[in-house]
Homo-oligomer: A and B are copies of this chain.
Amino acid sequence: MAAVDLTTHPGHLARRLQQAHYLLWNTMVSEEITSPQFAVLNALVVEPGLDQRTVGERVGLDRSTVAEVISRLGRRGLLGKVRDPRDGRRFLLRLTEDGLRTHRKLTVRTARMNQVFLAPLSAAEQGVFFDLIRRVADAAEGLRHPAEPLAARP
């Protein structure tokens, strides 16, 4: 007794949603390139020459994870990293020809996959779906950086 109904717990639903997505991605998009890897490729298509930290910021990955993902993409020859001549701490990242090709190919498949994934919802519902999730995620994300309290001088 005193147990809880997990289907009313947003965290549990979020986990299940991601599992479902993982499954579909694996069968419909790629078994080699994962969804976070695609997100990194995409970020570098938009802004070639980003450094690791900024890539992580764009796609929502922390420093450690982004390092792993980038190292995998590098091993596969999909991107290259060179030291920033103007700031020796940074590596500048850039897709290779192969990386661009892979991104183009996966973009098509990803679109198809999203259609299947969202098929249970009407077009209107899909809009609501995005809106609600984004608002919840953004709000929680906001709690992370507590908006720089005004009097922050020690």
Contact = CB atoms under 8 A, between A and B. Distances in A.
A14 B24 CA distance: 13
Contacts of A39: 6, 12
A1 B125 CA distance: 29
Interface stretch (A69-77, A82-90, A128-136): A128-136
Contact of A21 (B4, B14, B22, B130): B14
Contacts of A19: 60, 137
Size category, A interface: 35 or more
A33 B149 CA distance: 31
B16 A17 contact: no
A105 to B, nearest CB: 11
Contact of A20 (B8, B42, B136): B136
From A17, A22, A117, A129, name the one whose CB has the most chain B CB atoms within 10 angstroms: A17
Nearest to A47: B3
Interface in A78-135: 103-104, 107, 110, 114, 116-121, 125, 128-130, 132-135
Interface of A: 1-4, 6-25, 35-36, 39, 42, 45-46, 59-60, 103-104, 107, 110, 114, 116-121, 125, 128-130, 132-141, 143-144
